[in-house]
Chains A and B, each alone.
Chain A
Amino acid sequence: MKNICFYFQVHQPYRMRKYPVFDVGKNHQYYDNLKNRQIMQKVAKKCYIPTNNIILRLINKTKGKFKVAYSITGIALEQFEKYAPDVLESFKELAGTGCVEFLSETYYHSLAYLYSKEEFTKQVNKHKNLIKKLFGQNPKVFRNTELIYYNELAKFVEDMGYKAIIAEGADHILKWRSPNHVYRPKTTKKIKLLLKNYKLSDDIAFRFSNRKWKEYPLTTEKFVDWAAFAQGETINLFMDYETFGEHQWEDTGIFNFLNSLPKAVLKKNMGFILPSQAADLTPVGELDVHHAVSWADVERDLSAWLGNKMQQTALDEIYKIEKEIINSDNNDLLRDWRLLQTSDHFYYMCTKWFADGDVHKYFNPYDSPYDSYISFMNVLNDLIYRIKGSKGKHIVTEKPSILIKK
């Protein structure tokens, strides 16, 4: 039987305030708390609460045949607790149905794997503990930030004890193959690879309300026909949870679509499956991915976070001070340092706007990538200032890590 595997990404960064150079060495409050609260409460109202309610109702109505997986970042969970506790409660309720799986990822939604495996491991474990505490589950499937994936990561995650890992089913890694099967990452022994069917996923996530799209409007029947027609045993529909009600507003009919989907799927003799269950299937072959793929932009590579010199410098500098931060044994410093690692900060600095930029612009709290870089580097300079504990005027620099080297 053919199954649909849903996984929804839930994430909200801690957005930083506009941090001017004058504050370096003087003001160590980096976050725009007001904006973070407003956004969380807005999205809770438009998306998290109504969508959770629908999912819960669908699970009950189908007597558990409908099931979904979530990956919720640590900092999103923190912000639920602070700004929208009822969202957290409704996720707990979903966890109680037994039809909802929670995936593992870095607590801070960071790119740590690319820079420090030690830090990466700490962040994944911190997230795992939180999921266990809140939802009573021990995650078995791993998804890396922004679906960044390559062979070496699969091996590392296998060694951490996971049974499956999730990645983008990009054309350039699959070539003629279908994303609707389970694969074995090259160089690994046991771990399974689940690939996003980006065509069908993006039909919902991006194209659903696009009136210029020739398939508009997307009806449940049409979508289920496409799924039924696709070859393979598992159709992985992976998308941002905010698709429901936030990216696609309620008036587009997205909630009606979701509401009627399970019944239509079951009627076509297909079912639903969780990622950890899909991982029990036998791999159809091996997949060799040397260069990192991700789910972002048309390139499906790292260029959304590492495409220009500003992004590279900011990331280099933040990880150069890992040792000093750890040695400082100062929890405030450690937390600020980790919050600066959230991938969104680097996404805001992306300058490849013209072809693919709309998405970047929509989610950017800054007027431009340059403004976000200025704020970020000013904050980083302040962080170094705090490590040094220096007195007097601090001259800001683009390589602040040199200031703490002996």
Chain B
Amino acid sequence: MFGWEFPPFSKGGLGTACYGLTRGLNKLGSDVIFVVPRGKRAKQTAHINLIVAENLYIDNEKLIIRGVDSLLHAYMSSKQYADSFNRILAFSDSSESDVIYGRDLFEEVERYAQKGKVIACFEDFDVIHAHDWMTYKAGIQAKKASGKPLVIHVHATEFDRTGGHPSQAVYDIERQGMHSADRIITVSNYTKNMIMKHYGIEESKIEVVYNGIYFDYECKDYEKIGTDDKVVLFLGRITLQKGPDYFLEAAKRVLDYMPDVKFVVAGSGDMHAEMIERAAHMGIGKNVLFTGFLKGEDIHRAYRMADLYVMPSISEPFGITPLESLQNGTPVLISKQSGVSEVLTNALKVDFWDIDEMTNKMISALNYPCLNTTLAHEGKKEVELLSWDKAAEKCIDVYSGVV
């Protein structure tokens, strides 16, 4: 299996999904070799969270994690790659010519692909499973080297990440990956339709496997922010795809009716500074709190102190965060432009662009306690039925179809 990231060094849903899926596969008796890129010589920073191979541990005998020297990590753009490359130069005393890393993102993807090919020659396996575009080339190389079937797993497409303005180079790699694959797994019908429409893939080649969720940590009770004020939470990368600007627009309108509500924006991303400025400019700065990037326990705390979690994504192939929120007992308002809205019934749903309706639902969820508790209660019951074991089972079906 070729991935980009693996917990605890993950920035978003993809690492969590790979973790859940591999655990599910293990449970069903499948051995998984998981290949992740790593940035061995780069320092870890809050801004760029590189995966460090030494810290990846093997948590049971059936899952072997292989680190490949690489600067790749999930959600990286070409510009970020250049920044990270320069940082390594700054940290090391060596000149540019000594550096073993590729010069741009695509060179890096290529390098990762070559490593994938080598690994494929040495390891024993039955099927190749590659997660998202940066690993597709590795998957294709591994397939060429081993003759084993390739399954690619689409967690997101370039259309989702860019709000419909894809980079041609990334699109080409995605398209090549999808056409070279023996079978394609998408995380929702939403994504399935997208790749049929934009990548010219036939329906019969695609299988939808919804993500799951694990209940494997202690849920503690957390204090509220220290007031009785209602709290509405945004949690995710602060980037175009996640719709933080729509969140602020709705917040502004809610505050016209309920001036004491607090809006918490948790996460980091390329629109972080812009959003802080925007909130100030809108005159709602004192009601919108930015927490920066959260991880581990703090994520659960954030969910728990909120009265409502909002995921206003403009295009979300799946969206695991609403499930995490419900798991923590907080009801959710999610965009209809998401895969998770296909599996969740007990959620408020809205078109991401419909600020009026988003406002109406936020106010209702805050003012009508029975609505809030029913959503939370029924939603939690529903989430408990979504398991990674089910997802793993479907993956095994897909494997059996190509082996």
Stretch of B21-29, B106-114, B355-363 that contacts chain A: B355-363
Q: Which of B349-399 contact A (CB under 8 A)?
A: 349, 356-357, 359-361, 363-364, 367-371, 373-375, 378
The answer to whether the Cβ of B348 comes within 8 Å of any Cβ in the partner chain is yes
Q: Let me know if A353 and B345 touch, CB within 8 A.
A: yes
The answer to whether B370 touches A309 (Cβ under 8 A) is: yes
Residue numbers in A under 8 Å from B378 (CB-CB): 308, 351
Most interface-central of B359, B364, B378 (chain A CB within 10 A): B364
> Would B363 and A370 count as touching, CB distance under 8 A?
no
Give bound CA distance, A377 to B368, whole Å: 8
Counting CB contacts under 8 A, is B257 at the interface? yes
- The secondary structure that dominates the A interface is helix
Give the one of B346, B357, B368, B369 with max A CB within 10 A: B368
A373 to B367, CA, bound (A): 12
Question: In the complex, which residues of chain A have a beta carbon less than 8 angstroms from the beta carbon of B374?
Answer: 308-310, 351, 370
Contact A368–B370 (Cβ < 8 Å): no
Q: Which residues on A sit within 8 Å (CB–CB) of B357?
A: 20
Chain B contacts of A371 at CB under 8 A?
348
**Closest chain A residue to B366 by CB distance?**
A396
- Chain B, Cβ-Cβ closest to A378: B364
Q: Which residue of chain A is the closest to B368 with respect to CB atoms?
A: A398
- Of A312, A377, A393, which is in contact with the most chain B CB atoms at under 10 Å from its CB? A377
Decide: A374 and B371 in contact? CB cutoff 8 A: yes
Interface residue? A260 (CB, 8 A): no
Residue on A with the closest CB to B348?
A: A370
Partner pick for A370 among B359, B367, B371, CB 8 A cutoff: B371
Known interface pairs A310-B371, A351-B378; A377-B364 also in contact (CB < 8 Å): yes
Within 8 A of B (CB), among A359-391: 367-368, 370-371, 373-374, 377-378
Contacts of A367 in B (CB 8 A): 349
* CA gap between A313 and B346 in the complex, in Å: 18
Q: Does A229 contact B (CB under 8 A)?
A: no
| Smallest Cβ-Cβ distance to B362: which chain A residue | A21
Q: Contacts A22-B356, A351-B378, A398-B367: A374 and B349 contacting too (C-beta < 8 A)?
A: no
Give, as a whole number of angstroms, the nearest-CB distance from A166 to chain B.
33
Which residues 139-188 of A sit at the B interface, judged by CB distance below 8 A? none
> Inside 8 A of B370's CB, which chain A residues have their CB?
308-310, 312-313, 373, 398
Residues on B with C-beta less than 8 A from A313 are 370
> Which B residues lie within 8 Å of A354 (CB)?
345
Least Cβ–Cβ distance between B187 and chain A, in angstroms: 22
Q: B350 to chain A: closest CB distance in Å? A: 10
Task: From the candidates B258, B345, B347, B373, name the one contacting A309 in the complex (CB within 8 A).
Answer: B373
A62 contact set on B, CB distance < 8 A:
none
Q: Which residues of A contact B360 (CB under 8 A)?
A: 20-22, 374, 378
Q: How far is the CB of B390 from chain A (nearest CB, A)?
A: 16
Q: Bound state CA distance, A373 and B368, in angstroms?
A: 9
Min CB distance A60 to B, Å, is: 49
A354 to B357, CA, bound (A): 26
B358 to chain A, nearest CB (A): 11
| Chain B hits for A20, CB < 8 A | 356-357, 360
A397 contacts the other chain (CB 8 A): yes
Task: Assess whether A374 is in contact with B373, with CB atoms less than 8 Å apart.
Answer: no
Bound-complex Cα distance A325 to B370 (A) = 24
CA distance A395 to B258 in the complex (A): 8
Smallest CB gap from B378: residue in A: A351
Binding site for A on B (CB under 8 A): 257-258, 345-349, 356-357, 359-361, 363-364, 367-371, 373-375, 378
Known contacts A309-B373, A351-B378, A378-B360; 16 additional CB pairs below 8 A are A21-B359, A308-B374, A309-B374, A310-B368, A310-B370, A312-B370, A351-B374, A368-B349, A370-B371, A377-B368, A377-B371, A393-B257, A396-B364, A398-B367, A398-B368, A398-B371
Binding site for B on A (CB under 8 A): 20-22, 308-310, 312-313, 351, 353-354, 367-368, 370-371, 373-374, 377-378, 393, 395-398
- What are 17 A-B contacts with C-beta separation under 8 Å? A22-B359, A308-B374, A309-B370, A309-B373, A309-B374, A310-B368, A310-B374, A351-B346, A353-B345, A368-B345, A368-B348, A370-B347, A373-B370, A374-B361, A374-B364, A377-B364, A398-B369
Q: Which 5 A-B pairs have the closest CB atoms?
A: A309-B370, A20-B360, A374-B364, A398-B368, A313-B370
